[in-house]
Amino acid sequence: MEEQAELSIKIMNWMLDIMADRSIRSSEFLSDMVRWGEEARKRAVTDRLIGLFNRRFLEEALQDHLQKARQSGHPLSLIMMDLDYFRQINQHYGAEVGGPGHPGAGARVPRHAQVRCGGDELAILLPGTSAEEAFPLSGRIC
């Protein structure tokens, strides 16, 4: 290395460039894997037709919220609805108009609390909400 110092430095720089490039590509690959995993999880718990959470999400969230409610003593309410003529409205006007995600269907309810259970069934999970509070809300939604 002493005899060919200039060549040695070039080789070391070349090796460092290769290692840096591999490190960057590995980091990008890992970032892509995390992003793809998050997207796959979102697709797994989201209704593809209208973008609300699906029954799988409800089952997981309900179990989690029930456990938290039992531990904390805070109330938990669940409103279940059947939207009349949902299929016909979607067929005639499209999911953008007829979906439970439409502002009129879940008025005054946070979108993250709405779940499409399937077909024309919609659930609204309300952590920290008593039955006395949930009942008037369900009436306003109806």
Long-range contacts, stretch 56-64, CB < 8 angstroms, 24+ apart = 57/115, 58/115, 58/117, 58/123, 58/125, 61/115, 61/125, 62/125
Separation between Cα atoms, residue 32 and residue 29, nearest integer Å: 5
φ, ψ of residue 67 to 5 degrees: the values are -60, -45
Confidence of residue 68 (pLDDT cuts 50, 70, 90): very high
pLDDT at 1: 64
Q: What is the CATH number of domain 55-141?
A: 3.30.70.270
This prediction's pTM: 0.59
Degrees, nearest 5: CA angle 110-42-37: 145
Mean pLDDT for all residues in the chain: 80
Residues 131 and 76: beta-carbon distance below 8 Å: no
Average pLDDT over residues 48-76: 88
pLDDT at 75: 95
Residue 98 has pLDDT above 60, yes or no: no
